[in-house]
């Protein structure tokens, strides 16, 4: 066991050797790598990870992604109009392609000018110090710890008190792996480039901001790279933070992300996670409702085909009274795709009058697809309203019949219903260019690889 | 109207009503577990060699196993070497022929429990196989059942009289190395009930066993095996109370059900073992493996449980739906009061085509009780058109208790339809107010609301049990006004 663990964690520990130390962030990095070293990678006996097969990632040797310059306009297809943007290629800031927002603090973490910033000293890595949450029973999140220890660059955003940003800020994480990733056994790469994008958003009192994260590959056919992002959101009292996480990695990519949000009094955090690409994708979210009246919305959509795997693990902690949370995750699975939904609502004893709702709906389009759904409630307060619901099934036969009785062909009727099912999530996007993009992606992924839909 | 604090205190101060110890001479094995002790148990029960070998293999498997820790319960580590694995009333050698010969102390115990055996014989067709500690001391209505070919006897009698049946089915549903506690049970099980319903027979009465944990330091390791042949029907009742004591007692039972084609088994449990005092001292550890196999087509297994006792309850009555069109049901009410902990639920494994399962679970937490529903619905690729409906509701009474829900849903067939719903609530002030306004006092209102909350489960219980269950619930939640 230990020797196997050493060969797996060893290469990652080696990557740490080159990372900067010193300052509060340096100390947190040191702490994170120690926690990672002590915990190692999770195995199949680990409850939170037993349904995620990390084998393909751990078998490949990690190589730090090189910050490559992108050709002129290389990032353009991914950028939205009417939007401020910060572009990262292989985890490194590309200032030429970016148009950073004004009136707010926004800088690259690699920028030495920002190194002494109070924002970093106070917040960066303070919540994602390797622990999945502040609760005693939550263990170390090894990948969050890895990111804290190993990130080279990223974004720090500070929204001043009372400022409402009109334009969304798009953070584009573009992966452009070198083509010489050697293939190993079973088609899995023997080595792969790994990047650790890092995002910090600090919204001061009564501020408003919208952040769009886009994970994409410069070449959609690229394979065998590993993105291990982490994001921290610190939502001050009365702030409103909207967050969209669009994951459109290349088909062969591995993506294991971690997000952490801490909400102060009457803060609102609204996050949508949309997963389209990648071979193995996992997204863990922890939200701490740490002030009265805080409100948290976590929505998600995963559209999978082939042998894709997507896991969404959420932990929403209600720590103060009168907090509300909503989760709606929907999945469409075709081919041999597999999905895991693992949502946990944790209501502390102090969090009376909590209102929490959690919903997971899965649509299976093929016989070989597999959906796992584990909606979980842990409640220690008595005056609460907590509900969860989960469904897994195929399209409603009656709805299909209704459409066909009106002269709509099977394929078309089928497509309409699947679209209607998925659009409940994409329609929530209020920023028009984003919504159109999501619709286009949804359309492409639903119609791209339909192999064996239900026969008529 | 009493405040929440008053009611929690009232609740916490309630003592166990059925706490007493009967003094009966014991023929007890020395504490500890070894191959010698297993051989001693086996010899004591005059078992054939194959059963001893079976026990020993289970024991050797158990030695390699690690006690599981994943359940959402906390308890002091169990010292398996300090438990007595065998205790039988002395009268074992010359078994009483009638109730008159039975130790009056044992009869008095039953009186205190409210099941006067003498009357019970005559009462509404309930045959009682009373398990006093580990050996059956009285079995009634045997002749009447024998006429139909129904075998209803203690497990050790079945080993003597029907070895071929026992050998054929023992361990087929719960293999002897299934899990830590099942392996322990397989190694040291002392007695239990055995039921065999022949082809086409509808068992004319509810079969019932009263378990009674009585001797100090004695873990009870019951083994129940129920076989329903093609087209048969049986309803089996299990109920229990236990005397007060300070040392935690381990109870690791195994229940195996086999339903052949068109057969139906209905298994109902009312569990009211000693839950420990208000500090959580004493009380029973109830770590039970219960599993039913719907072997044949159109077979049906239904579990109903009302769990109000035990310090720690850890059990998941499950159904393996192998036969096409087979049906599995699970109805549960679990109450955890004071410092009780319950981690209970079910597992439905859909293998056959058009199999369906229903899960209704009601958890009530009061005082500092922790109540966990943990269940799995697994629909395999072969299970075309499988159907599941799950509903898990929790009710919290008081602000120091906890309710937890951990469903696991794994679906590998797109034709499956599965729904899971859960909700958590407390007794609303408006509901109480509504009742008060109509002249119903708060206590009665709570009782009424809780009964309504549990109605879906209670109506699945046989009549006698439904009454007892409601009474138990009322006692359990006395004084707990939300």
pLDDT means per 10 residues, chain B with 482 residues, are 47 51 60 86 87 93 88 83 70 46 53 49 42 46 79 86 92 91 90 90 79 47 91 85 56 93 92 74 85 95 88 91 95 87 93 94 88 92 92 85 88 87 81 91 85 86 75 65 46
Helix A2-16 vs helix A142-150: crossing angle, to nearest 10: 30
Task: Give the strand pairing for B370-379 and B402-411.
Answer: parallel
How many domains does the structure of chain B reveal? 1
Q: Which of A47, A383, A389 comes nearest B420 by C-beta?
A: A389
In a domain, B263, yes or no: yes
- The rounded Cα A333 to chain-centroid distance in angstroms is 19
Chain B residues within an 8 Å CB radius of A394: 414-415, 417
Residue A417 CA to residue A423 CA, distance in Å, equals 10
The pLDDT assigned to B6 comes to 52
In a domain, B481, yes or no: no
Beta-carbon separation of A392 and B482 below 8 A = no
Beta-carbon separation of B416 and A393 below 8 A = yes
Domain boundaries, chain A: 2-291
Model's pTM, two decimal places? 0.80
Task: State whether residue B376 sits within 8 Å of chain A by CB.
Answer: no
Task: State whether residue B198 sits within 8 Å of chain A by CB.
Answer: no
Residue B403 has phi, psi (to 5 degrees) of: -130, 130
Task: Give the strand pairing for A280-289 and A309-318.
Answer: parallel
Mutant choice from B395, B414, B419, B481 vs A, greatest count of A C-beta within 10 A: B414
Task: State whether residue B127 sits within 8 Å of chain A by CB.
Answer: no
Q: Which of A369, A382, A393 comes nearest B396 by C-beta?
A: A382
The pLDDT assigned to A358 comes to 92
Nearest chain A residue to B368 by CA distance is A380
Chain B residues within an 8 Å CB radius of A414: none
Task: State whether residue A135 sits within 8 Å of chain B by CB.
Answer: no
Reference B288, options B252, B257, B313, B328; nearest CA is: B252
For the complex shown, is ipTM > 0.90? no
Beta-carbon separation of B407 and A374 below 8 A = yes
The SS3 call for residue A403 is helix
Q: Which of B70, B400, B424 comes nearest A377 by C-beta?
A: B424
The SS3 call for residue B456 is helix
First to last CA, chain A: 51
Q: Which of B399, B414, B421 comes nearest A367 by C-beta?
A: B414
The pLDDT assigned to A70 comes to 65
Residue A271 CA to residue A286 CA, distance in Å, equals 11
* Helix intervals (H) in A50-135: 55-59, 118-123
Q: Which of B381, B402, B414 comes nearest A379 by C-beta?
A: B402
Task: State whether residue B73 sits within 8 Å of chain A by CB.
Answer: no
Nearest chain A residue to B395 by CA distance is A382
The pLDDT assigned to A162 comes to 94
How near does any CA of chain A get to the CA of B390, in Å?
10
Reference B278, options B456, B14, B480, B97; nearest CA is: B14
Beta-carbon separation of B422 and A375 below 8 A = yes
Structure tokens at A333: 């699975």
How near does any CA of chain B get to the CA of A346, in Å?
9
In terms of residue numbers, what domain contains B141?
A: 4-476
Helix B442-458 vs helix B463-476: crossing angle, to nearest 10: 140
Task: State whether residue A365 sits within 8 Å of chain B by CB.
Answer: yes
Helix B180-188 vs helix B49-63: crossing angle, to nearest 10: 150
The pLDDT assigned to B116 comes to 47
Chain A residues within an 8 Å CB radius of B397: 382
Chain B residues within an 8 Å CB radius of A389: 419-422
Beta-carbon separation of A372 and B410 below 8 A = yes
Beta-carbon separation of A393 and B414 below 8 A = yes
Q: Which of A366, A371, A374 comes nearest B411 by C-beta?
A: A371
Task: Give the strand pairing for B417-426 and A385-393.
Answer: antiparallel
In a domain, B53, yes or no: yes
Task: State whether residue A325 sits within 8 Å of chain B by CB.
Answer: no
DSSP run (H or E) holding A314: strand A309-318
Nearest chain B residue to A373 by CA distance is B409
Neighbours of A169 (CB within 10 A): 23
The rounded average pLDDT for each run of 10 residues, N- to C-terminus, in chain A (456 residues) is 63 79 76 84 81 86 76 78 92 88 89 80 70 46 88 92 94 82 53 91 95 90 86 95 94 92 95 92 93 95 93 93 95 93 91 92 90 89 86 88 93 91 91 92 73 34
* Residues A354 and B394 sit within 8 Å (Cβ to Cβ): no
Chain A, 34-63: which have a CB under 8 Å from a chain B CB?
47
Chain A residues within an 8 Å CB radius of B396: 379, 381-382, 384
Residue A202 CA to residue A107 CA, distance in Å, equals 13
Beta-carbon separation of B411 and A392 below 8 A = yes
In a domain, B482, yes or no: no
The pLDDT assigned to B93 comes to 43
Chain A residues within an 8 Å CB radius of B400: 349, 380
Chain B residues within an 8 Å CB radius of A374: 406-409
Nearest chain B residue to A374 by CA distance is B408
Beta-carbon separation of A376 and B406 below 8 A = yes
Beta-carbon separation of B398 and A382 below 8 A = yes
The pLDDT assigned to B246 comes to 46
Residue A74 CA to residue A87 CA, distance in Å, equals 10
Chain B residues within an 8 Å CB radius of A372: 408-411
Task: State whether residue B402 sits within 8 Å of chain A by CB.
Answer: yes
Mutant choice from B382, B424, B477 vs A, greatest count of A C-beta within 10 A: B424
Mutant choice from A334, A382, A387 vs B, greatest count of B C-beta within 10 A: A382
Q: Which residues contact B303 (CB under 8 A, 6 or more apart)?
A: B267, B269, B290, B292, B317, B319, B329, B330, B331, B332, B346
């Amino acid at each position: 066991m230990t020797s196997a663990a050493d060969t797996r964690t060893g290469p990652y520990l080696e990557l740490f050797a080159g990372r900067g130390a010193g300052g509060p962030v340096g100390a947190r990095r040191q702490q994170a790598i120690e926690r990672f070293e002590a915990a190692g990678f999770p195995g199949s006996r680990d409850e939170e990870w037993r349904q995620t097969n990390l084998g393909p990632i751990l078998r490949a040797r990690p190589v730090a992604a090189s910050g490559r310059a992108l050709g002129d306009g290389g990032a353009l297809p991914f950028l939205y109009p009417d939007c401020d943007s910060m572009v990262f290629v292989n985890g490194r800031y590309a200032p030429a392609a970016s148009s950073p927002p004004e009136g707010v603090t926004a800088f690259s973490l690699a920028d030495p000018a920002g190194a002494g910033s109070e924002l970093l000293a106070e917040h960066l890595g303070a919540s994602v110090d390797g622990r999945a949450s502040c609760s005693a029973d939550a263990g170390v999140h090894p990948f969050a710890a890895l990111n804290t220890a190993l990130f080279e660059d990223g974004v720090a955003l500070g929204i001043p008190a009372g400022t409402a940003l009109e334009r969304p800020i798009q953070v584009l994480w573009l992966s452009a792996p070198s083509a010489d990733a050697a293939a190993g056994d079973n088609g899995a790469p023997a080595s792969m480039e790994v990047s650790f994008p890092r995002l910090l958003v600090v919204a001061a009192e009564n501020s408003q901001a919208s952040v769009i994260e886009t994970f994409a590959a410069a070449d959609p056919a690229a394979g065998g790279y590993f993105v291990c992002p982490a994001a921290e959101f610190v939502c001050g009292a009365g702030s409103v933070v909207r967050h969209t996480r669009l994951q459109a990695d290349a088909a062969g990519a591995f993506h294991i992300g971690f997000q952490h949000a801490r909400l102060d009094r009457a803060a609102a955090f609204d996050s949508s996670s949309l997963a389209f690409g990648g071979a193995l994708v996992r997204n863990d979210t922890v939200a701490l409702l740490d002030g009265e009246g805080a409100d948290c919305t976590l929505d998600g959509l995963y559209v999978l085909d082939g042998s894709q795997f997507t896991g969404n693990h959420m932990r929403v902690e209600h720590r103060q009274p009168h907090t509300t949370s909503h989760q709606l995750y929907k999945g469409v699975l075709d081919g041999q795709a597999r999905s895991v939904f693992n949502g946990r609502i944790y209501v502390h004893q102090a969090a009376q009058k909590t209102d929490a709702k959690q919903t997971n709906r899965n649509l299976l389009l093929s016989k070989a697809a597999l959906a796992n759904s584990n909606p979980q409630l842990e409640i220690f307060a008595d005056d609460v309203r907590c509900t969860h619901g989960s469904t897994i099934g195929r399209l409603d036969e009656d709805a299909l019949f209704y459409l066909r009785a009106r002269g709509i062909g099977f394929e078309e009727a089928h497509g309409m219903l699947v679209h209607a099912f998925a659009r409940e999530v994409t329609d929530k996007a209020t920023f028009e260019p984003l919504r159109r993009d999501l619709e286009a992606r949804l359309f492409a992924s639903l119609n791209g690889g339909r192999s064996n839909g239900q026969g008529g | 109207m009493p405040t929440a604090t008053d009611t929690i205190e009232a609740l916490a101060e309630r003592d166990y009503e059925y706490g007493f110890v009967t003094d009966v001479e014991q023929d007890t094995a020395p504490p500890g577990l070894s191959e010698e002790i297993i051989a001693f148990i086996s010899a004591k029960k005059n078992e054939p060699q194959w059963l001893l070998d079976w026990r020993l293999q289970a024991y050797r498997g158990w030695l390699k196993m690690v006690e599981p820790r994943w359940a959402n319960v906390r308890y002091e580590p169990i010292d398996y070497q300090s438990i007595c694995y065998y205790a039988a009333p002395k009268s074992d050698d010359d078994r009483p022929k009638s109730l008159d010969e039975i130790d009056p102390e044992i009869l008095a115990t039953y009186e205190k429990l409210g099941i006067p055996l003498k009357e019970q014989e005559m009462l509404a067709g309930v045959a009682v196989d009373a398990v006093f500690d580990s050996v059956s001391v009285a079995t009634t209505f045997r002749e009447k059942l024998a006429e139909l070919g129904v075998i209803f006897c203690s497990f050790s009698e079945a080993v003597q009289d029907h070895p071929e049946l026992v050998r054929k089915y023992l361990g087929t549903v719960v293999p002897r190395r299934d899990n830590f506690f099942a392996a322990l049970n397989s190694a040291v099980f002392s007695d239990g009930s055995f039921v065999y319903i022949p082809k086409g027979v509808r068992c004319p009465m509810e079969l019932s066993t009263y378990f009674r944990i009585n001797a100090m330091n004695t873990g009870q390791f019951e083994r129940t095996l129920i076989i329903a042949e093609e087209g048969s029907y049986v309803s089996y009742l299990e109920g229990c109370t236990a005397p007060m004591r300070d040392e935690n007692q381990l109870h690791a039972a195994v229940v195996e059900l086999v339903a052949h084609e068109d057969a139906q088994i209905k298994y109902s449990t009312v569990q009211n073992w000693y839950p420990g005092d208000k500090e959580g001292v004493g009380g029973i550890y109830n770590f039970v493996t219960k599993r039913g196999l719907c072997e044949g087509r159109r077979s049906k297994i239904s579990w109903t449980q009302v769990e109000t006792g035990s310090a720690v309850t850890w059990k998941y009555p499950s159904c393996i739906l192998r036969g096409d069109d087979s049906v599995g049901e699970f109805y549960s009410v679990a109450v955890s009061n004071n410092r009780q902990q319950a981690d209970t639920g079910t597992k439905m494994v859909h293998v056959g085509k058009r199999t369906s399962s229903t899960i209704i679970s009601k958890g009530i937490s009061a005082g500092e009780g922790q109540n966990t529903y943990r269940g799995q619905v697994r629909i395999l690729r072969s299970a075309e058109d499988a159907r599941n409906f799950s509903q898990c509701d929790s009710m919290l009474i008081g602000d120091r208790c906890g309710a937890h829900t951990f469903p696991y849903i794994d679906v590998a067939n797109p034709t499956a339809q599965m729904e899971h719903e859960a909700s958590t609530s407390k007794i609303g002030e408006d509901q109480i107010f509504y009742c008060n306004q109509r002249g119903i006092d708060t206590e009665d209102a709570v009782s009424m609301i809780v009964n309504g909350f549990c109605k879906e489960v209670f109506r699945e219980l046989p009549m006698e049990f439904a009454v007892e269950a409601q009474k138990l619930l009322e006692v359990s939640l006395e004084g707990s006004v939300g």
